[in-house]
Structure 1
Amino acid sequence: MKKLFLLLTLCFTVFANAQTEDNPLVWQTSIQKISDTEYDAVFTAKILKDWHLYSQYNPEDASQALEIVIPEGKKGYKLVGKAKESETTKEYSEVWEKEEIFFKNKATITQRVLIEDTNIDNITLEIYGQVCKQACIQIEDSFSFSLNGKTLEKEEVILDEKSRKLTEKLKLNLKNTELLKTDTTLDNNDGSSLMNIFLLGFIGGLLALLTPCVFPMIPLTVSFFTKQSQSKSKGIFNAILYGLFIVIIYMLLSVPFHLIDGLDPSILNTISTNIWLNIFFFIILVFFSLSFFGFYEITLPSSWGNKMDDASNIGGFIGIFFMALTLAIVSFSCTGPILGSLLAGSLGTVGNPAFQLSAGMTGFGLALALPFALFALFPNLLNALPKSGGWLNTTKVILGFLELAFAFKFLSNSDLVGHWEILKREIFIGIWIAIFIGLALYLFGKIKFPHDSPLKKLSFFRISFGVLVFAFVIYLIPGTFKNPTWSLSALSGFPPPQFYSIYQQESDCPLGLDCYKDFDEGLKAAQETNKPILLDFTGWACVNCRKMEENVWSDPSIYNILKDDYILISLYVDDNEKKLPEADQFSFKKANGKIKKIKTYGDKWSTFQVVNFKNASQPYYILMNANLEILNSPQQYTDIETYKNWLEKGIYNFKN
């Protein structure tokens, strides 16, 4: 547990402090000819004061060791052993409980390379590692060397012929782009534009409140502040502090963008849909739910108390801060794509995009903070009730069941993105049925937990709530059938999509529609059928995408338009486990000269979206014809009437 909290502290420091200084690591490279077939590639790193670059000999299960590799697909040369290193320092790490090896101030690394194909005239090497102070920054740099002794800086890396051709295919020659600009850019860079993006961020935060990844934090918040709110004034102060911490954390997320130029807008979506991160969230929420059931208590490490003068403030300030941090982390699976939209929109604005992003992040955090500050006040009401002990324990157990149900949403995300095909829709719903049957049995007194008081009779509340839970179970049951008697529209976004089923489906597209999952194939179909294109940027773990498909696309008037009048192209931007064929993998050179490896379908379609439409959120819909003419302004999450009018206007513009 001690190490877990130390690691959580370190992870947050990456967001809060890592970029408050200039780039702590600057590389210089050169190459030395040893013989006709051997060269030494020399990397010299100037390291900012108090920062550490970890050696390639750093022990396992510690800070990431330095590694030099040949990029995938490069042939004609190989590395000769490990690189030689300049002087290093050893120091014991309390976090990892190991002696770590690192460079201070300066590092010189010399890698011997054997040339097997004498026809090649340049080589490329990649460096991976970690540079740390109180925070850590991942290193992922690529360098090319000319074998005549000239060094090509990483910003000047020349793409091979395949990469150049595939990069050109990634960029569309769009027409009517003014329709895109009205949706993704701001008019000017004065104070009014900052206010505009602040309001957009605020609206995004309100939308985030409707996502399943935010709901699990409601039980955690109520449970935590039940212990904290010993008086009315203390409860109000804690609630305000909680909301303030939430705003500050989201505002700090924009700090790296003030100091680092050209970060990838799709990075937030990539993080939020990461398989192992979602599994981690699943484990954490199950861990919390068992705590709510009363099997154990979660407390801060006692060692923290020994280092503080006022023990009463530890649970207050530090505990509340970690609750706010937990909210930001756990909800990130759903908020990441929304924040990615803010990032992409900011990078497309006139003026300083970092300030635009900070304004948007602050608005987003404020919208998220307001209701959670109210949830933090809720325990005061519970504490004021008579016989609060029984009330509080019953409430905690109910929240534990809800937390357990929410946990499976994160496991479902991992299953969908990883294409494991384990947690299909009907299995997910079946698990929920079992969980809520357990909750109903608890409310009716058939199940007890460690801290439950003897139940002499069932209260009106327990009976009423138990009946509601039982009705909800009945509502869920048809979701396990091949042909449900009704759709679970109220739960859209929670279970996997309807086509992700244990039963044989007509297609793997939403609602059984015909769709293409490759842009070029869909474009060809549009040319052959003379139909307009609905370009659907979606994701396996995209909550609002499922809501649109199951609540808006399912409307008969819209379904018929999609089925008969459009060519649907669905591009999954989080499909990061499915590799592109090797011949289709390439290096993409961004506007700032940095190289992004396009290895998966997710890499390709997320980059495709950002490059062409300056947006990184999902769902994101574009209407165009086969000549790449934009037919209407982009559309995102909306209602049935608005979406129908949008589609019909696209058809009108297509015909005219």
Structure 2
Amino acid sequence: MAAVGGRPGGTFAGAAGLGFTSALIMGPCVTAPLAGALLYIAQTGDTALGAAALFSLGLGQGVPLLLLGAFGSRALPRAGRWMQVVNRIFGFIFLGMAAWLAGRVVPPAAGLAIWSGVLAGVFLGALDRPESGAAPTARLRQAAGVATLLAAALMGVGVASGGDDPLRPLAGLRLGAPRHDSEKAVAFTTIRSVPELEEELARTDRPAMIYFTAEWCVSCRSIERRVWPDPGVQAALSEMQVLAADLTTFDADSQALLDRLRSVGPPTMIFLDAEGREQKETRLIGEPGPADVVASARAVQ
């Protein structure tokens, strides 16, 4: 081993320590694609393609580390003023990701307030005095900062007016306008346990849709904005029994409900025919479009 950490005289123990800590850092980043590849192998049984995918994943992760280990700092770009721009960009991304994750566990209005604070805190020099002869990129950055600061102000107004959606912060100011939420667009019956599910299904012999949702589910709010207000979706579900399995307060009953319908969590839509059987390829997981919901609903009617 010629060098460890850029200094001559490194040891195998030092190299092993660096490798161990690198694995700790890279492990969480690799978990998602690794789980996806293993799930694909388990579902399809295509071991050849699965082995090739795992080999490509390991190659893509390992080659950059080998190159950096072989060439050290010579393989990295030199630091300069451009790094300040990179730091700001990644700082904005990290703060935005933190606000997005926080929006899953805090009330919607609080999530909008967080977005307002994040955007206001990274306004990219919107209030800086432009230097004479500034480069076009600097002026573009300042223009982006002004737009960001304006977006933060709109979100702040949205919080004060009762808004809860970062994409539509001023929706609360539309006096008299109908709210596009699940209660207004589709007449859901809320259930929270297996006995409630069986009781509701026994009330009628119509086809049914069970929609797993929760207040902390960000994707569910997107579905409420894009899917349920759609006229085609409302027409397709008008002849069906529509149940909303509320998992907001997750407890033993919620877990039993998930196990009963073999679901992993919200958002999930399960379509049952008039005899209570789920048809193949009708289950929708994630954020489907209106056309997907209509197709699944028509398949069980």
TM-score by length of 1: 0.32
Q: RMSD across aligned C-alpha pairs, in angstroms?
A: 5.2
- Give the whole-Å Cα distance in 2 for the aligned partners of 1:511 and 1:469: 38
Q: Which residue does 2:81 correspond to in 1?
A: 390
- Give the whole-Å Cα distance in 2 for the aligned partners of 1:511 and 1:312: 63
Q: Which residue does 1:309 correspond to in 2?
A: 11
The structure having more radius of gyration, on CA atoms, is 1
- Give the whole-Å Cα distance in 2 for the aligned partners of 1:311 and 1:383: 29
1:606 corresponds, among 258, 263, 283, to 258
Alignment of 1:230-629 (within 5 A): 309=11, 317=19, 320-328=22-30, 342=39, 346=42, 359=50, 366=57, 383=77, 388-413=79-104, 415=105, 423-440=106-123, 442-444=124-126, 446=128, 458-472=134-148, 474-475=150-151, 477=154, 480=159, 481-482=161-162, 488=167, 513=186, 514-518=188-192, 519-528=194-203, 530-538=205-213, 542=217, 544-562=219-237, 564-571=238-245, 578-579=250-251, 600-610=252-262, 616=264, 618-625=266-273, 627-629=275-277
The runs of 5 or more residues in structure 2 that have no matched partner are 69-73, 172-177
Q: How many residues align?
A: 267
Q: What amino acid sits opposite 2:110 in the alignment?
A: I
Q: What amino acid sits opposite 1:557 in the alignment?
A: G
Tell me if the contact between 1:515 and 1:570 (Cα under 8 Å) persists in the aligned partners: yes
Q: What amino acid sits opposite 1:437 in the alignment?
A: A
Q: What amino acid sits opposite 2:39 in the alignment?
A: L
Offset of 1:446 from its aligned partner? 4.3
Q: Which residue does 1:585 correspond to in 2?
A: none
Offset of 1:392 from its aligned partner? 0.3
Q: What amino acid sits opposite 2:119 in the alignment?
A: F
- Give the whole-Å Cα distance in 2 for the aligned partners of 1:507 and 1:549: 7
The answer on 1:630 being equivalent to 2:278 is yes
Whose helix fraction is larger, Structure 1's or Structure 2's? 2
Deviation string, structure 1 residues 27-64 (Cα, Å, up to 9, x no partner):
xxxxxxxxxxxxxxxxxxxxxxxxxxxxxxxxxxxxxx
**Residues 554 and 383 (structure 1 numbering): CA distance in 2 closer, same or farther, change over 3 Å?**
farther
**Residues 314 and 360 (structure 1 numbering): CA distance in 2 closer, same or farther, change over 3 Å?**
closer
Offset of 1:311 from its aligned partner? 10
- Give the whole-Å Cα distance in 1 for the aligned partners of 2:185 and 2:23: 46
Tell me if the contact between 2:126 and 2:149 (Cα under 8 Å) persists in the aligned partners: no
SS of residue matched to 1:534: strand
Q: What amino acid sits opposite 1:567 in the alignment?
A: Q
SS of residue matched to 1:383: coil
Deviation string, structure 1 residues 204-251 (Cα, Å, up to 9, x no partner):
xxxxxxxxxxxxxxxxxxxxxxxxxxxxxxxxxxxxxxxxxxxxxxxx
- Give the whole-Å Cα distance in 1 for the aligned partners of 2:232 and 2:126: 44
SS of residue matched to 1:428: helix
Tell me if the contact between 1:444 and 1:462 (Cα under 8 Å) persists in the aligned partners: no
Offset of 1:410 from its aligned partner? 3.1
Deviation string, structure 1 residues 5-25 (Cα, Å, up to 9, x no partner):
xxxxxxxxxxxxxxxxxxxxx
SS of residue matched to 1:569: strand
SS of residue matched to 2:285: coil
Q: What amino acid sits opposite 2:126 in the alignment?
A: F
- Give the whole-Å Cα distance in 2 for the aligned partners of 1:468 and 1:561: 43
Q: What amino acid sits opposite 1:619 in the alignment?
A: P
- Give the whole-Å Cα distance in 2 for the aligned partners of 1:382 and 1:309: 24
Task: Report percent identity of matched pairs.
Answer: 15
Tell me if the contact between 1:444 and 1:458 (Cα under 8 Å) persists in the aligned partners: no
Tell me if the contact between 1:515 and 1:569 (Cα under 8 Å) persists in the aligned partners: yes
- Give the whole-Å Cα distance in 2 for the aligned partners of 1:555 and 1:381: 53
Deviation string, structure 1 residues 249-276 (Cα, Å, up to 9, x no partner):
xxxxxxxxxxxxxxxxxxxxxxxxxxxx
- Give the whole-Å Cα distance in 1 for the aligned partners of 2:163 and 2:142: 28
- Give the whole-Å Cα distance in 2 for the aligned partners of 1:546 and 1:529: 29
- Give the whole-Å Cα distance in 2 for the aligned partners of 1:625 and 1:468: 52
Tell me if the contact between 1:532 and 1:624 (Cα under 8 Å) persists in the aligned partners: yes
- Give the whole-Å Cα distance in 1 for the aligned partners of 2:206 and 2:24: 53
Q: What amino acid sits opposite 1:407 in the alignment?
A: A
Offset of 1:456 from its aligned partner? 7.8
Q: Which residue does 1:641 correspond to in 2?
A: 291
- Give the whole-Å Cα distance in 2 for the aligned partners of 1:618 and 1:359: 28
**Residues 310 and 443 (structure 1 numbering): CA distance in 2 closer, same or farther, change over 3 Å?**
farther
Offset of 1:535 from its aligned partner? 1.6
Offset of 1:624 from its aligned partner? 1.0
The runs of 5 or more residues in structure 1 that have no matched partner are 1-301, 416-422, 448-454, 492-497, 499-504, 580-599
- Give the whole-Å Cα distance in 2 for the aligned partners of 1:308 and 1:381: 20
- Give the whole-Å Cα distance in 1 for the aligned partners of 2:208 and 2:225: 20
Offset of 1:435 from its aligned partner? 1.5
SS of residue matched to 1:628: coil
Offset of 1:310 from its aligned partner? 7.4
Deviation string, structure 1 residues 120-150 (Cα, Å, up to 9, x no partner):
xxxxxxxxxxxxxxxxxxxxxxxxxxxxxxx
Alignment of 1:27-426 (within 5 A): 309=11, 317=19, 320-328=22-30, 342=39, 346=42, 359=50, 366=57, 383=77, 388-413=79-104, 415=105, 423-426=106-109
Offset of 1:604 from its aligned partner? 1.3
SS of residue matched to 2:271: strand
